[in-house]
Amino acid sequence: MSKAKDKGTTAERDVVRYLQNWWPAAERRALSGNKDKGDVAGIPATVIEVKAAQRQDLAKWRRETWTEMENAGAHVCVLVVKRPYKSVGQWDAYMPQTLLPDALSDIDEEGEAESWLRMDLRLAVAMLETILDREPSFPSF
């Protein structure tokens, strides 16, 4: 395994362990080729993509995360980016603004969210719990 791939696998494993505090069924997802469905499975209607790269490419990663959400038929996605020397709960998490609770969102009926909000993973977990607990009124694609 390459050093970069090993780094990514370790980051995915760390995120899964963290998320299992809320969703015990969370697990690393097996690779699925060009129809990837994210790095974490076991959270209802949700795709989690994890990145641990030295060079950040947020625009590309956001597009990838959004596509993986569509591939999985999910309603929610979160992009998690490792922050060196920080605990997992302090890693950056990005969520499309359109997927957040109504008080925080401005729905874009044309598809992909233009604005992604950055927060730490701790806050993203709280937001995800709120989103998944509310009545299913997810935006359509």
pLDDT, tens digit (0-9, with 9 covering 90-100), for 7-23 = 889 999 999 999 999 99
| Residue 11 resides in a domain | yes
- With 50 as the cut, is the pLDDT of residue 135 above it? no
| Residue 138 resides in a domain | no
Residue 102, CA distances (Å) to 16, 82, 95, 116 in order: 28, 28, 14, 15
Q: Print the domain residue range for 107.
A: 3-133
- The pLDDT of residue 5 is 78
CB-CB contact of 37 with 77 (8 Å): no
Give the CATH number of the domain where residue 76 resides: 3.40.1350.10
* Count of the separate structural domains present in the chain: 1
| Residue 81 resides in a domain | yes
More confident residue, 82 or 140: 82
CB-CB contact of 51 with 68 (8 Å): no
| Residue 27 resides in a domain | yes
pLDDT, tens digit (0-9, with 9 covering 90-100), for 72-103 = 999 999 999 999 999 999 999 999 988 776 64
| Residue 139 resides in a domain | no
| Residue 19 resides in a domain | yes
| Residue 141 resides in a domain | no
- pTM score of the predicted model: 0.84
| Residue 129 resides in a domain | yes
